[in-house]
Homo-oligomer: A and B are copies of this chain.
């Protein structure tokens, strides 16, 4: 049995995503296809434009059999943490056999050489890294230059080849490969040459526009152009969710809340939050006093060593009070559950296979998140079944998913949907019928 796993955000699902999905299926010819998807906040450090329930529904209709939610704690991390969460989820399904990811270079061999160094952390590499950090480079740059020096000294790769880790998909690719090694996973990685628009490209490029471009079109209410760039299923969902008053959601909707909160904080207290160091705390605190728009704030904080994405993620880490030590633990131990956002009739069969194998609970009804643990405790005390779960981390991790949803839903235009816990009300979507 072959099960294809992919890692997605679908923010929103567009023609490029469909193309990628079809290519991946062609490459693997799987019996089942599952995806792990960011929830209501995505890796660029922003709320998703459509909520996770709608995005999962689209994914199911477009050919995914099960959509898992990437826990919030991983979804807003840098490439390393994002990979540990998403690969961890796919690995802990115990059924995924192959993953396929997009890559600018599509050069798995080179990516693997780098992933090996990052995984094994040879002493010589560590020394080089320390030197680069002492020279004042930011961590990503210090790492890059240390890798270059190490690979050249050891004749592993040419400088030209190693520079592929500057491309966004290849950075992720390296981290996926590294995460597979960390989990000691048997999953086989594959790449597909990245087609169409770069994901940061915000210009409309017709049929193959980027998600960034499509979000911009939605903001400008250019529905005709969106229609060209997304499958009809996405387009209908966009219209439906807008009519429901639950979309689009932009970072700007939250800006007054974010900046207001920052204005209550002290620089010193910021340092405990994940990724807030190297003077970033001071820049954020100062910028919050002088800006009322989140874009203005980003402009003020921006510096050579602080990319926009890092700043955006940092603001979310501060806003949700995510401490460094929690992320360290989450990254060390991996996802503690498999939250299912939706599944098809086919996916249901796979879920019943999974249920017998997994060592971390499958959550289809989040409101049962406490009773699930009680069952696991009974299993464990009866020696009935082995579970690997860290209970404390499980609760912390899932509560952050709930918090993320509760904050997100507060910004719906239709406040009817803001008066209950969406995660408690909406269990996994079961899509009946054949979708293939």
Contact B290 A259 (CB under 8 A): no
- How far is it, in angstroms, between the C-alpha of A406 and the C-alpha of B256 when the chains are bound? 12
Interface residues in A, total, Cβ within 8 A:
30
Contact A263 B406 (CB under 8 A): yes
With known contacts A289-B421, A419-B292, A257–B261 Cβ distance under 8 A? yes
With known contacts A257-B256, A257-B257, A263–B403 Cβ distance under 8 A? yes
Residues in B whose Cβ lies below 8 Å from that of A355: none
User: A304-329: which residues lie under 8 A (CB-CB) from chain B?
Assistant: 319-321
Choice from B254, B399, B419 contacting A291 with Cβ under 8 Å: B419
Most chain B CB neighbours (cut-off 10 Å) among A289, A399, A419: A289
Q: Shortest beta-carbon distance, A245 to chain B, in Å? A: 12
| A-B pairs with beta carbons under 8 Å apart, 27 shown | A254-B260, A256-B257, A256-B410, A256-B411, A257-B260, A257-B261, A260-B410, A260-B411, A261-B261, A263-B403, A263-B406, A263-B407, A263-B410, A264-B319, A264-B320, A264-B321, A264-B407, A265-B321, A266-B399, A269-B321, A288-B406, A289-B406, A289-B421, A290-B420, A290-B421, A292-B415, A292-B418
Chain A residues at the B interface, C-beta cutoff of 8 Å = 254, 256-257, 259-261, 263-266, 269, 288-292, 319-321, 399, 403, 406-407, 410-411, 415, 418-421
Known A263-B407, A288-B406; further 8 A-B contacts with Cβ < 8 A: A254-B260, A257-B257, A259-B410, A260-B410, A261-B261, A289-B421, A292-B410, A292-B419
